[in-house]
Amino acid sequence: MSIAERYPAVVVGGGPAGLATSAELRRRNIGHVVLERGAAAGHSWMHFYDSLTLHTGKHLSTLPGLPFGRRVPLFPTRRDFVAYLHRYVEVLELPVETNSAVTALDRHGDAWLVRTANGAVTARDVVVATGIASQPRTPVVPGRERYRGRVMHSIDYRRPEGFAGRRVLVVGVGNSGGEIASELAHAGANVTVAVRSGANVVPLQIAGVPIQYLAFAMRRLPIGARRGIATAMGKLTELRRGKPVLPKPSHGVLDSIPLIGFHLVDAIRAGLVQVRTGLAEFTETGVRFTDGVEEPFDDVIFATGFTAALAPLGGLVRTDAKGFAIRTDRVTSADQAHLYFVGHTYDATGGLYNISRDAGLAAERIAATSGVRAAA
């Protein structure tokens, strides 16, 4: 790339959010380039743990303009989704520049200067679609420096081989933590999960219908009606499966993304996974929990989530309590003109569904101020 290159728009990130945005920009005849840090589109998805399977159904997990193939199961695997992303680029002929990690975004007169390891480009509009996978969140736990075991984040976990017989602590019971803990336990590891604030657990599907589809159908109901349905579903689940084995959090099932599916719950009931309170500190050989219990562990895996990857923006935007850029609507920066964010909306309807929705909104905002007429 040359410093002289200028585009109407630049999309930062070639994962689902960036590719969906590219497709929507292309449909509106808006010239642009997608800058992807990896050697191929979907770089982050190519490096998630092998057994990852979407807990959102394929009908609400597609990107604009291309459905999954008929042979793809209702809940696509990581391999299915990576193949879909690569096909998406090829079929829609998206302008993806790989090995182009963006190092900085700066205002340059009335445009954006986008710096990469290969040079820089300028653009009137920038869409930040960098997702969260490159920004794992690991809490600071006292005593980390004296612990002699292995510590990793869930983003670094690939497969259970090599963990059999080892004492493994998984910190956090979100969806990644639940899946990894269950997988390791069934592969012969001695697994404990540390649960700081509890977890709401919901079934993956009800009567063969993905729970996400039900959440999508309920989204326009009044909040009181949705809470009532969620409460009834919780009571029915408890009647069918027994009392919860994980602590109940202070927040309701509608207030944050729940643990979807009973893989971890079943492993706990079977005695394959132990449950402890939150971490207080590391010791030389393990950890001490907040209830004072101390146990040895060979490995500690932090499944403590992610935050938005906004480092290239420096201090140009403000962020909310969860680390996402503050916006005036779902996609438009509250701090900078001609700056948009796709992949920053997460709720029970699914991250991929929200990406498809927000990609179209961002492209509409850009088209409305560019004077370019959309394709028929």
The CATH number of whichever domain residue 208 belongs to comes to 3.50.50.60
The C-alpha torsion from 368 through 317 and 126 to 257, rounded to 10°, is -90
Domain's final residue, options 277, 302, 327: 302
The answer to whether 24 touches 316, Cβ cutoff 8 Å, is: no
Q: Which pLDDT score is estimated for 373? A: 54
Q: Which pLDDT score is estimated for 228? A: 87
Same domain for 289 and 341: no
pLDDT of 1 > 60? The answer is: no
Q: Which pLDDT score is estimated for 118? A: 86
Same domain for 251 and 126: no
Both tokens of 61, joined, read: 């997990």
Domain's final residue, options 263, 283, 302: 302
The residue with greater pLDDT, 208 or 45, is 45
pLDDT of 2 > 50? The answer is: no
Same domain for 117 and 162: no
Q: DSSP alpha helices (H): ranges in 93-222?
A: 175-186, 211-218
Beta strand 119-128 with 111-116: parallel, antiparallel or unpaired?
A: antiparallel
pLDDT of 204 > 60? The answer is: yes
The count of structural domains within the chain is: 2
Same domain for 123 and 42: yes
Domain's final residue, options 302, 322, 357: 302
Same domain for 197 and 178: yes
d(CA 191, CA 299): 10
Averaged pLDDT of the chain = 92
d(CA 273, CA 269): 8
Task: Kindly state the average pLDDT of the residues 164-178.
Answer: 96
Q: Which pLDDT score is estimated for 312? A: 94
Using one digit for the tens of pLDDT, what is the confidence trace for 276-305? 999 999 999 999 999 999 999 999 999 999
Helix-strand-coil split of the chain, %, nearest 5: 30, 25, 45
Instruction: Give the least confident one: 140-149, 186-195, 238-247, 360-369.
Output: 238-247
- Domain of residue 71: give its range: 6-135+306-370
Nearest partner of 122 among 136, 108, 135, judged by Cα: 108
- Which position has the token pair 């003109």? 337
The residue with greater pLDDT, 239 or 187, is 187
Using one digit for the tens of pLDDT, what is the confidence trace for 217-263? 887 888 888 888 888 878 877 778 888 888 888 777 777 788 899 99
Question: How is residue 330 annotated by DSSP?
Answer: S
Same domain for 327 and 362: yes
**Within-domain flag for 1:** no
Q: Which pLDDT score is estimated for 314? A: 92
Same domain for 179 and 215: yes
Indicate left, alpha or beta for 104 from its phi (over 0: left) and psi (-120 to 50: alpha).
beta
**Within-domain flag for 225:** yes
Percentage of the chain lying above the pLDDT 70 cut: 97
Both tokens of 337, joined, read: 């003109």
